[in-house]
Structure 1
Amino acid sequence: MASRQLHLELLRNVLRSPMSFFEATPSGNLLNRFAKEIDAIDCMIPDGLKMALGYVFKLMEVCVIVLLATPFAAVIMLPLALLYAFVQVTLTSRVSRWLAVNLEFLGNGIVLSAAVLSVMGKDTLSPGIVGLAVSHSLQVTGILSWIVRSWTDVENNIVSVERVKEYADTPKEAEWALEDSSLSPSWPQAGTIEFRDYGLQYRKGLELALKGISLHVHEREKIGIVGRTGAGKSSLALGIFRILEAAKGEIYIDGINIAELGLHDLRSRITIIPQDPVLFSGSLRMNLDPFDAYSDEEVWKALELAHLKNFVSGLPDKLNYDKSPAQPLGQRQLVCLARALLRKTRILVLDEATAAVDLETDALIQSTIRSQFEDCAVLTIAHRLNTVMDYTKVIVMDKGHIVEMDSPSNLIAQSGQFYRMCREAGLV
């Protein structure tokens, strides 16, 4: 039970850790905590304690037998025990060198005392009692060796508990849900987003990844976000989902400061299609609707809109097909699109969702987004500029700042940075 509780606490602490924790912590360390350290707490420590206690009781049995046969042995055994304890304390730094000598000395001392006292009391002791006492006293050296060995194993493995508890003190994300939340079940209804002098950094001490971002996304607007690598495009998405907390400023969605919401309330009301599509082990239906919130008809409708209906219909088990992670990249991206179609939230974020797929899949995704998310606010972090040429606005970012923001046609007319990027892409 104690090991299970430690494992649950470790899992809870790791799952609630912010992204900066995973950036600074090697994955090998995490695997080691969940595998080797938990195994040591599960098996090594209980086995070591069990063995140590078993031999302690065996030692007590020998002492009782010797004392019952020769009560005067207590006069010798007590000083021997005190001497042994004194040697262990004073020679802690050289225990490994003196351990064998100490154990042999103590064991032989008990054997000697049992033998000498047995000879002295030969007139009153029966030969059977004497043989029992001496034969048991001969086991003392081996018993002491096993006690020390098993206890040393416990001391070596008890560090695993400290290593598992170490992650209890790491920084955690904000509360998952707020008890006194009065958030409407239909929030956000309009899907407006407002950044007010927003700043974000990946870890304390690092330079701000976003600097003084002020932006207002209106209802049903389609915003394209472009820029060079490292300009801060994906950082905007991290800020909206509070994967990283604001270093300064605020983000408001439908007039509500998202910093005052529980993480579940926020993240469950907006949708993202990431660049790297993630499918979990399990059936295709579980990947689309893990909480069984939608009917099969709704799932098939989403697959049809995501251009996957014919493909899934041809699978052996259809929605129960359980080889989802092995699907090609383009099909996995379309599955993520089907997820978004099922949820149909008022805000959709595409984080370079089509950067790694072929042009045909890119065209399918873009056509579906234009037709099915017409009433939603869409923020597209674009790798291919042609995907945002018909958007309401395009934001050009550079070094964490918004350097240009207007409609694509106006930005091209201004002959600025967006114009140069389009010229490089062969669009003008």
Structure 2
Amino acid sequence: MRWLAVRLDLISISLITTIALLIVFMHGHIPPAYAGLAISYAVQLTGLFQFTVRLLSETEARFTSVERINHYIKNLESEGPRQITGSSASASSWPANGRITFQNVEMRYRDGLPLVLKNISFSVLPEETVGIVGRTGSGKSSLGVALFRLAELSCGSITIDDVNIAHIGLEDLRSKLSVIPQEPVLFIGTVRSNLDPLDEYTDAQIWEALEKTHIKDMVSGLTNSLHSEVMDNGENFSVGERQLLCVARALLRHSKILLLDEATAAIDTETDRLIQDTIRTSFSSCTTLVIAHRLNTVLNCDRIMVLDQGQILEFDTPSNLLANENSCFHAMMEAAEETLTRKN
């Protein structure tokens, strides 16, 4: 912008100089009033040039958004239908058990990209808690993406209580699942609107959920209690408080399937303990998938799945994996203990 301003000023100076020279050379042929007007207009060109060019550049930059939206409308494929009339998932009782079955699942995020899940097959029993561990890029979060149909499968199928999720509406599917993300998400509004955005539950039910997540005292201590203001992204709450509010929101939904995507990765040990306690007590009747960042958070799971490069390496109980000195999970635990020892 500075270099552009210099060049525009040079053009203005050249015009002013040219006009001044013409006035001198044509002395006596141009009335003094016209000569003064010409010089006055030429001097004003300096600011006018810069304003006009800046306005044009800002207009072009803003129209980039219009071009992008137009590209999205014409070229991007839309998600599946929100609802499919007559599907078995429309019933309020589905899923009754929470059995999850992955059968030869393969998934990529976009055509032409490599597979992030490669021939994944496993079953999760009703009310079972499964810990999912692996290094960065192993496909842990991609399992959640496939379960919520944020990206469609390239091959295979996922069934919940014997219902193929590819044959049901996205709203019917996602409304029956709950997720507690790694980054807690709160929206501008009130505490109540964040916990119950569709206004489906009573205040008593919301207070019960807050009590179970050990955050009732904090909310009741706010100026307007449930109707207290929440700033953009919950900036007026700590990370731990935001995460506990997200847990309360998931608890209100009474879903049979819960996904924890490294929910305690960015919070302190005390809040981690509160969340783990809430999950053990309040979500005991749910089928729970725990994507782990800290290995000690999955030691209480019924089974542990070890992923690597989109494939299942091991899937067994924690005791069996730890007892096997050749298992990948055993090696990961030893590496974590060594790291902890060095820090201490």
Q: Same fold (TM over 0.5)?
A: yes
The secondary structure found in structure 2 opposite 1:426 is helix
**Change over 3 Å in CA distance of 1:296–1:245 after alignment to 2:** same
The secondary structure found in structure 2 opposite 1:335 is helix
The secondary structure found in structure 2 opposite 1:246 is coil
Q: 5 Å matches for 1:277-426? A: 277-324=184-231, 325-326=234-235, 327-415=237-325, 416-426=327-337
Within the candidate set 58, 72, 78, 1:167 is matched to 72
**Change over 3 Å in CA distance of 1:167–1:318 after alignment to 2:** same
**Change over 3 Å in CA distance of 1:159–1:331 after alignment to 2:** closer
Could you state the TM-score of these two structures normalised by the residue count of structure 1?
A: 0.62
**Change over 3 Å in CA distance of 1:426–1:290 after alignment to 2:** same
**Change over 3 Å in CA distance of 1:182–1:392 after alignment to 2:** closer
User: 2: distance between equivalents of 1:308 and 1:163?
Assistant: 42
**Change over 3 Å in CA distance of 1:295–1:421 after alignment to 2:** same
Give the C-alpha shift of residue 162 in structure 1.
Answer: 6.6
Structure 2: which amino acid aligns with 1:425? Answer: A
Give the C-alpha shift of residue 160 in structure 1.
Answer: 8.7
**Change over 3 Å in CA distance of 1:300–1:229 after alignment to 2:** same
Could you state the TM-score of these two structures normalised by the residue count of structure 2?
A: 0.76
Structure 1: which amino acid aligns with 2:202? Answer: S
Aligned residues: 274
User: 2: distance between equivalents of 1:408 and 1:374?
Assistant: 18
Give the C-alpha shift of residue 375 in structure 1.
Answer: 1.1
The answer to whether structure 1 residue 251 and structure 2 residue 162 are counterparts is no
Give the C-alpha shift of residue 237 in structure 1.
Answer: 0.4
Give the C-alpha shift of residue 413 in structure 1.
Answer: 1.1
List runs of 5+ in structure 2 lacking aligned partners. Answer: 1-55
Higher RCO, 1 vs 2 (CA within 8 Å, ≥6 residues apart):
2
**Change over 3 Å in CA distance of 1:320–1:227 after alignment to 2:** same
Give the C-alpha shift of residue 426 in structure 1.
Answer: 1.9
List runs of 5+ in structure 1 lacking aligned partners. Answer: 1-152
**Change over 3 Å in CA distance of 1:208–1:164 after alignment to 2:** closer
Structure 2: which amino acid aligns with 1:373? Answer: F
Give the C-alpha shift of residue 203 in structure 1.
Answer: 1.1
Q: 5 Å matches for 1:162-241? A: 164-169=69-74, 170-183=76-89, 184-241=91-148
Give yes or no for contact 2:99–2:161 (8 Å, CA) kept in 1. Answer: yes
User: 2: distance between equivalents of 1:235 and 1:421?
Assistant: 21
Q: Is the helix fraction higher in 1 or 2? A: 1
Q: Is the strand fraction higher in 1 or 2? A: 2
Q: 1:73-120 CA distances to partner (integer Å, 9 max, x unpaired)?
A: xxxxxxxxxxxxxxxxxxxxxxxxxxxxxxxxxxxxxxxxxxxxxxxx
How many percent identity over aligned positions? Answer: 49
User: 2: distance between equivalents of 1:418 and 1:159?
Assistant: 49
RMSD: 2.0
Structure with larger Rg: 1
Structure 2: which amino acid aligns with 1:177? Answer: Q
The secondary structure found in structure 1 opposite 2:337 is coil
4+ runs deviating over 4 angstroms = 156-164
The secondary structure found in structure 2 opposite 1:238 is helix
Q: 5 Å matches for 1:117-136? A: none
